[in-house]
Structure formats: C-alpha cells, structure tokens
Amino acid sequence: MKNNYAILFFFLMTFFACTKKSHDDKNIILPKDSLPTFLSLANDDNLPLNLKQKYNKKALAIIITQTDDSLNKVNLFKIANRYYNMSDWKAYENTTKLILERSVKSKDSVHIAKAYTYLGDYYRSQVVSDSAFMSYFNAEKIYVRIHDKFNLAKTFLSKADLQFNEGDLFESEITVFKALRLLKQQKDVNSQLYDCYNLLGILFNEREEYNKALEFHNNALNTLDGKSIPDGFQLKASSLNNIGFVYLSMLNYDKAKTYFRKGLKQKELLKDDPTLYAMLLDNLAYSKFKSKESDGLPKQFYDALKIRDSLKLTSGIILNKIHLSEYYVSKNDTLRAFQFSKQALNLSRISNKLGNTIDALKQIAIVDPKNASKYSKEYIAINEKLLKAERKMGEKFSRIEYETNEIKDENSNLQEKNKTLVYVFSICTLLGLFFYVYKTQQARNRELLFKQQQQIANEDIYNLMISQQNDIEMTRIKEKKKVAQELHDGVLGRMFGVRISLDSLDKLDEAHAAPKRKKYLAELKHIEEDIREISHDLNREKSELINNFVAILNKLFENQQNTYISKLATSFDSHIKWELVSNMVKINLYRIIQEALQNCNKYAKASTIEVVFKSEINHLILSISDDGVGFNSKRTKNGIGLHNIQYRAAECKGTVTIKSAKGEGTVLIIKVPIDQKINLQKNDS
C-alpha cells in the first residue's frame, strides 16, 4: 500500500513541475509577431506531438538570433517549459544548458539560479538523483546570496521531494521545514504551502506517526479553501486520498472508506486526473476487502486496473494485481491468486521496480508456499539492496553538499588571499613567529604538566603497591600465628602422645607390642602428612608475597571484567621473577595496561581482549590484543592515550609496536629490556 502513496506524491510533484513552467508565461511582451504564434502553437494540447515540437523549434530559432538580454532568457525559459511539458527531455536539457551558459556569461544570478532548478528537474525526470541534488543545491546557494526567499523555498521543496524519493526521510523532513518557514513569511503561496504540508503528511505516515500525518494532511486540505489554486488540479481529491491512506495504515477501514468515497465524488475527477481516480478506486476497493465488505468487489479492482492498463501506469498495475491476488486468497481461489501475484512479480522484474518487486514477493510467498523459501531469499536480497542504495544516496547527498561548500570556500579564500597577500605578508610573518614562540612555550608547559601528572600517577600506583604489600604482610603474620598454633596444639601434642605410647611398649612382650607399634607408626605417618601440608601452605604464602604485583594487576582485571561486557583473557609466564623487576618498570607496565584497556573500552568495540606477559632472555614482553574494529595505524594520528603508552615505554627504555587494520582488531606489543644480570627464565632455586 505504501507504493500507492509514493506514486501519488511523485505524480503530484511532477504535475506541479509542469504547471510551474507554464505560469512564467504571463505578462511577457514578445519582440516579433511570429514568435507568440509559434509559442502558442507549441503549447496547444490539441495538436500532435511532432507539430508542437516543430513550432517550438521555430520559436527557438528566432530567440537564438536575438540579443542576449534578460528578455531573451525569459523567452528561452518558455521554450524549455514547452519541451518539458512534451517530455522531450533531450531538447529540454539542451535549452536549459544554453540558458545557463548565457546567464553565467552575463553574470545574471537570477537566471543562473532558475536554470539550475530547471536542470535539477531534468535530472530528476531521468532519475539521476545526485546530479539533480547538485543542481538544486547550486540554485539554493544563489537564492540565499540574493535573498530571494520565495524561490529559495521552492528549491528547498524540490530538494526535499528528491530526498524523500531516495529514502532519505530525516533530511527530507529538515529541508521541507526550511521551505515552510520561508513560505510563511510570504503572501499568496497556497500552492507551495500545500506541497509542504502534503509532503510532511507523507513523511510522518512513512514513520508511522499517524496523528502528525493527519495533522499535516488536514493543513494541506485547508490551504485549498483559497482561490489561488485552480480546481482542475484535483488537489482536494489527492488530499482526501492521502488522509484515507493514513487511516488505512492505521487499520481504521471505515474512516478510510469515507475519505476515499469523498475523493471519488470530486467533480470531473476521471476526466481531469484518471491516474488519481484509479488510485482512489483501488484504495476504496482494498479498504472494503480489508473490512470484509463485498459490495462492488472485485469489480472496483478490475475497473481501477483497466484505467491503469490504458495509461500504462506500471507501479499502479503491479499494486492492483497484488490486491486482486489478496482478494482471491480470501475467496480460496488459489489459481487466480497465484496468477495475479505471478503477473505482478514478472511485471515488477521487467520494469526493474525494486519496491514493487518486494511487495509482489511477499504476496506470492503466501499463495505459493512450496517456493516460499526461494521468494523469501530474493525478498531479503532486494530489501538489503534497497537499504544500501538509500543509505548510499543519503551519504552522497551529504557529500555533495559538503564538497560544494568546500569548493566555494576554497575559491573565496583564494580570491581574498590574492587581494591581500602583498599587504599582509610581513604581518603574517610576524604573527607566525609570535605564534611559533607561543606554541613552543605552550608545548614546554604541556610537557612539564604531563610529567607532573605522570609523577602523581606513579606515586598513586606506588602507594597502591605499598598498601598491597602491607595487606599481604598482615595476612602472612596471621598465617604464621595460625601455623604456630596448629603445630603447638595439634602436631606436637600428637607426637608427645605417640612418644609416651612407644615408651610403654618396652614393658610388653614382642607378641603384644608388634600390633601396637604398627598403629603408632601409622599415626606418625599422619603427623608427617600434616606437617607437609603446613609446609605447602607456607610456600604458597611466599609465592603470594613475591607476586603481589600480579595481585594488583588481577584487581585491575577484575574491575575490567565487572564493568565491561568484553571478555578478558590474561596469561602470566611462570618464569618471570617479579621480585627482580624494578618498581619503576612495574609502575609503567601497570599504567600501560590501564591505558590500553581504556582505549579498548572506548574505541575498539571488542568482544575479546587478551593480556599476555612473556619472558625472553634479557627482555620482558607485554602483549595486549583485541578483536575490535581496528584502525589504520599508518594514517591515524596518535592520540594522548597512545602518546602516554609510548612515553612510559620510553621511560623503561622499551619499544612499542602497534599492529592494526580496519576491521581486523589491534595488537599492542611492549618490549622492555631487563638488566643482563637478571635472567627472567632462570628457574627458582
């Protein structure tokens, strides 16, 4: 159903593009008696196309020989209008480019801007959206410069319509509100206000903000109360159709039918606008079908289809056949349902209308469940293609706007520089020297401040290590007391008991003493195991004391895991003898890890982070890697985080290696030299 909406809006905007080019013909005094005759005949709808083209060509031949002045350009615009209304696109393009060339030559800003809007209309008719956007944007810049608010608003409206057709809904909304703000400052602009409100209604309906859509469509309808818009345009019927369509989207079928019926009752609708009549008829029939009303069905579907067939309205025909397929599905006539959906799909493929193809695929998947998976795959592929195309076009529009501004800014800057270069050269030199001195002093101050901050941070980490050492020392004292108590209360008491028992065996004969001796030996074995366990506990305590730097790091890693969703894997080479590594190196390594984790959390978007310590002869290796988005390490300028890491590695006389690429994660390797007297791989003695 969204296609019906888009078809109508495209038709209306095209219609207004044509009609606006006929409004320019008023109150023009023509220089030759034959010229008005040729122009009038070229605009006579009762004549065949070839004759209208012939008369327009004759009028053009007369105008080209005349003096290139403002009146001459007005007449050229009249020629372009007629070619547009005849859909003679090549002649229309050539005439518009001729006007633009002459206007640029004579530096006529008004006609340059107008020629750009005509050129934009040409590119839009040929579906060359980026060129159309560029043309409208060029016109917009000129109208801003010459303060022509009315034509600027019309250009905004054309640009907003183009953005809407390309799926750039957000930018379209911004642009149409720009046009609306300007138009509200003007008088007698009901036609343009109607277009603004109508487009806003369509935009909000697309975003399913139905109340806002109804508000703007009713605003559009209210602008038609004036007499500035001829009834022959059938805008009231189109607004009634739009309002009905919003209610249809809201599943309020009774309201929808009411507005579609009102639209169909407009005088001379079928004669003035058969396309709109067929659309209203199809929408009414579909609303009846959805509300399970059978009156007039399926005849109204077929009547709408017949009109669309006669006018060769491809999108309308496709939509009609999809509706008929839905209707026959409800009647369990699967054969007809399949035939209409198949016809709709084939026609959409031939016409290369991807939006229609998506709708047709959805319907045929319902009536042909055996091949539903095949249709679904095609649907997904086309839908992704459409989304990418819309996103790409939106980005292209933004890039055109940005690059055009950049070029204009560069040109303006070059002109200004050429004018003032001689006068300001000496001043610039002095300012440059002053700036250099200032920057140098500022850099020195920053370096001193940076070193001061690093010193404070180092002191914080040192205090943390001392605090950790105190905690471990307190734990060690408690453990020693516990071991002494266990030895005194448990092991020594038991050993004393066994010794007394063994002494008593001397008073027994060998036969009675032997089994008791075995029992006491077993007890001694248990005591030996208890002593061994206490010894192991003491060894573990020693290991914890030695590795308190590892404990500090583990606290950092624990905080990381509790705060962020990324998985963190850590590994410590067992050969590293941390007690032989200087505190300065430990502090810097701790800060490097802290900084690297912070970079991963802020920028990498990684799901897994790995921190690994390895030992080599005379070197300690720290490797921090992630599977995040990565970056181009050759092009990206180092930020303060990477600068800090390099600074700390340099303090340890170490090296930093960064390996990264877009989409391939990042690997940071720190290699710190250790005093050659310390062999980190030496086994514990």
Q: What are 437-455's pLDDT values in tens digits?
A: 888 888 788 777 777 776 6
Output the pTM of the full model: 0.53
Which of the four pLDDT bands, split at 50, 70 and 90, describes residue 383? confident
Between 354-367 and 334-351, two packed helices, what is the crossing angle to 10 degrees? 160
Is residue 278 very low, low, confident or very high in pLDDT (cuts 50, 70, 90)?
very high
- 614 membership: H or E segment, kind and range: strand 608-616
- In this predicted structure, the answer to whether residue 284 has a pLDDT above a threshold of 90 is yes
**608-616 vs 567-572, strand pairing mode:** parallel
DSSP track, 504-553:
HGGGS-HHHHHHHHHHHHHHHHHHHHHHHHHHHHHHHHHHHHHTHHHHHH
Burial class (CB in 10 A: 0-12, 13-18, 19+), 238: buried
Please, what sign has the CA dihedral across residues 116, 118, 122, 124?
positive
Least confident of 89-93, 255-259, 302-306, 464-468: 464-468
Q: Taking a C-beta distance cutoff of 8 angstroms, is the pair 55, 78 a contact?
A: no
Query: What's the pLDDT score for residue 390?
Result: 56
Helices 583-599 and 548-563 sit at what angle, rounded to 10 degrees?
Answer: 10
> Among 103-117, 121-135, 244-258, 293-307, where is mean pLDDT lowest?
121-135
Chain centre distance of CA 171 = 13
DSSP for 259-289 reads HHHHHHTSTTHHHH-HHHHHHHHHHHHHHHH
Asked if 143 contacts 113 with a C-beta cutoff of 8 angstroms, the reply is: yes
What pLDDT sits at residue 534? 67
The DSSP-derived string for 552-602 is HHHHHHHHHHHH-SSEEEEEE-TT--GGGS-HHHHHHHHHHHHHHHHHIII
| pLDDT for residue 12 is more than 50 | no
CATH number of 556-673: 3.30.565.10
- Average pLDDT on 190-204 reads 88
Distance CA 25, CA 20 (A): 10
Q: Which two tokens stand for residue 408?
A: 């204009």
Check whether domain 31-147 has CATH 1.25.40.10, yes or no = yes
pLDDT-wise least confident of 94-103, 200-209, 363-372, 400-409: 400-409
pLDDT mean over 335-339: 90
My answer on whether omega of the bond before 31 falls inside 30° of 0, hence cis, is: no
CA distances from 394 to 14, 82, 384 (A): 22, 32, 15
DSSP state of 398: H
Between 159 and 306, residue with greater pLDDT: 306
Task: Return the structure tokens found at 657.
Answer: 């290696």
**Both structure tokens of 543:** 């290991």
- In this prediction, residue 46 carries a pLDDT of 86
Split at pLDDT 50, 70, 90, the class of 466 is: low
pLDDT tens digit string along 479-514? 666 666 566 555 666 676 666 666 676 666 667 677
Write the CATH number of the domain with boundaries 312-390: 1.25.40
The whole-chain average pLDDT of the chain stands at 79
Return the percentage of the chain with pLDDT > 70, whole number.
75
* Per-residue pLDDT, 137: 87
Two tokens, residue 632: 């181009």
pLDDT of residue 24: 46
Q: How far is CA 681 from the centre of its chain?
A: 51
How far is the C-alpha of 81 from the C-alpha of 435, rounded, in Å? 58
Measured in degrees and rounded to the nearest 5, phi and psi for residue 614 equal -125, 155
* Highest-confidence segment of 413-422, 628-637, 658-667: 658-667
Residue 379's pLDDT band (boundaries 50, 70, 90)? confident
Sequence-distant (≥ 6) Cβ neighbours of residue 431 within 8 angstroms: none
pLDDT above 70 for 394: no
Q: What is the pLDDT of residues 549-572, one digit of tens each?
A: 788 888 888 888 888 888 999 998
Q: How far apart are CA 109 and CA 140, in angstroms?
A: 11
Kindly tell me if the per-residue pLDDT of 635 is higher than 50: yes
